Each structure stands twice: as structure tokens, then as C-alpha cells.
Structure 1
Amino acid sequence: MHSENHLALHDGRAADLRAEADADRLAATVRNPHPVALRTRLGWTLVEVGLRLAAPPKGATPAAA
């Protein structure tokens, strides 16, 4: 194979791979824009639920000893 033909095939394949990588990168961004933000929000929600479960009910009087 002549070097010019080999270079042309290589350039074409490289361009295809770059386009595929860009498309995959874009799709990954659309699928999961901020995984850390979702994890943080879920974590704080669980903390809030835990605090509500641990707190005494509103209006409850402490038990006499």
C-alpha cells in the first residue's frame, strides 16, 4: 500500500473515532449531568429524615421520672 493511501485511510478512521468519542461524551453528559449533585442531595435528604426520626414529636411533654 502506498503511504499516501495509508495516510488517507488513517486520517479518515481517526476522524470517525473522534466523532464517535464526541458523541459518546455528549450522550454521557445528557444521561447523567451531575452525579455528585444527585448523591449530595440524596445524602442530605437521608440526614434530614434521620434527624426527624430521632427528634421527639412536636408538642410532646417529657416523661416524668
Structure 2
Amino acid sequence: MDSRTVPEGHARTVLVRRTYDAAIEDAWDACTDPRRISRWFLPVSGDLRLGGHYRPEGNASGGILSPSAL
């Protein structure tokens, strides 16, 4: 848990890390393809690419950052 300033004001942040026995391309696709996300998480709308913003259905929103931005 952390916090940072975003254009909208003050934000709380959470970094979650997991290791999966899969190719990086498959793991990235599972996190950025709305059809795949909804199978293991929630339906998600938004711009699901690096630099984009997303919103899980009925939940908070977030942004997709590169590891170097963390």
C-alpha cells in the first residue's frame, strides 16, 4: 500500500505481484483482454493497454503502468 498524487488529486495505490507458469505474452493477454479478465476477475471496461485506464464493474478504477514506472 502506498499513496501518490494523480491529476484527480490524492490516490491510494496497491501493488500486487504473482508468479505464473505461463509465457509473458499469455499472462499479459489474460490481464488485458476483457473476455479473459471476466473469467477470473470481474467484467472490466476501459483502455486495457499500457498507459490506459480501466474500471472493473461496480468497483474502483485504475491505470496500467509499466514496471519501470513503479
- Tell me the TM-score range normalised by the shorter chain: under 0.3
Higher-RCO chain (CA-CA 8 Å, sequence separation at least 6): 2
Q: In proportion to residue count, which structure has more strand?
A: 2
TM-score by length of 1: 0.22
Which has the higher Rg, Structure 1 or Structure 2?
A: 1
